[in-house]
Amino acid sequence: MTSFRLIGPGRAGRSLAIALSNAGWGLAGALGRQDDLRSAAQGVDALVIATPDGGVAPVSASVEPSPTTVVLHLAGSLGLDVLAPHPRRASVHPLVALPEPRSGAARLLAGGFFAVAGDPLALDLVAALGGQPLTVPDEARPAYHAAACLAANHVVALLGQVERVAATAGVPLAAFVALARGAVDDVAAVGPALALTGPVARGDRVTVERHRAVLDPAERPAYDALVELAERLVQERNAPERGEEAAPVADRPSDERAATVGAAPSTPTSVFEKDPAACR
C-alpha cells in the first residue's frame, strides 16, 4: 500500500485524501498551519502539499528532506522549483473543480485529467484515481493554469453576469443553466468555432446593439469583450472556407460588408463592422 501524508486539509487536500483512501492508498495523517512540519516527510511514500499556491514554497522549505519520500504539490500554476531542496519532487494538478470534499473526491475518481510533472509517483497517483495524465512542463504551467481558470472560474463569473442581467427581465438563472450546458456539450462535440450560435455568428449587429442599449453600463465591458471573442471564432470558422484568414467586415469592400451583415441566419459568415457606436 502506498502511504501519504497531507499538509493543508482544505477543500482540495481533503478531496484528494478521501479519493486516494478510497483508491487504496494509506493516509498517515493531515497537518495544518499550527503543526510542526519538520518531520512531515518521514515514514511515508508521498507528502502532499495542498496549500494555496503562495504557501507551497515556504511549507516545502520547512520540511526536512527525505531521500525516499516524494514531495508533491497540487498547484496548477507552479513548477517543481518551489519544492527545493527535496530530492524527489512532483506536481499533480486535478483539472477538476473541488467545491467540497465529498463531491470533490467523487469527481477525482471520475476519470478526469490531471496535469503531472516530476517523479513517476505522480503517474502512479493519477492511475490509482483512474485519471488521465497530462504532461505539462514547468514553463507551460502558467498558460495551462490560465486556461483552467478561463474554463472554470471565468465561466462561473460569466454566469454571475447572466444571473444579474436575467434578473432585470424577471427570469431566474435556472432558466439559462440548461442552455449553458447545451452550449458546452456542443463545444465538446464540434469545437468552439462550429458551436457558436447567436447574433454574432449570424452577423446580426442590430440585435447586438439592442442588447447593449438595455444593459447596465457596468455590464457592457464584459459583453463587448465577449462579442470580440465571438468575432474571432467567426473568423476562424470562415477562414477554411476562404482558404485564408477571414478579414474583419470593416476591411472588406462595401458591397461585401452589406451582403455579410445582412446574411441569413443559416449562413453565419460575418463579424461586425467597427465604428465608435458599434460593439467593441
Which class is 143-261 in CATH? mainly alpha
pLDDT tens digit sequence for 161-173: 999 999 999 999 9
Q: How confident is the model at residue 201 (pLDDT cuts 50, 70, 90)?
A: very high
* CA 19/CA 146 separation, integer angstroms: 25
Closest CA to 46 of 91, 96, 113, 76: 91
Residue listed under C-alpha cell 472554470: 152
Which class is 3-136 in CATH? alpha beta
Q: Identify each DSSP E strand in 17-105 by its residue range.
A: 26-31, 46-49, 70-73, 89-94
Coil, helix or strand at residue 54: helix
* CA 214/CA 211 separation, integer angstroms: 6
The percentage of residues in the chain with a pLDDT greater than 70, rounded to a whole number, is 85
Would the pTM count as exceeding 0.75? yes
* Domain regions of the chain by residue span: 3-136, 143-261
pLDDT tens digit sequence for 47-71: 999 999 999 999 999 999 999 999 9
Beta strands 70-73 and 26-31: pairing type? Answer: unpaired
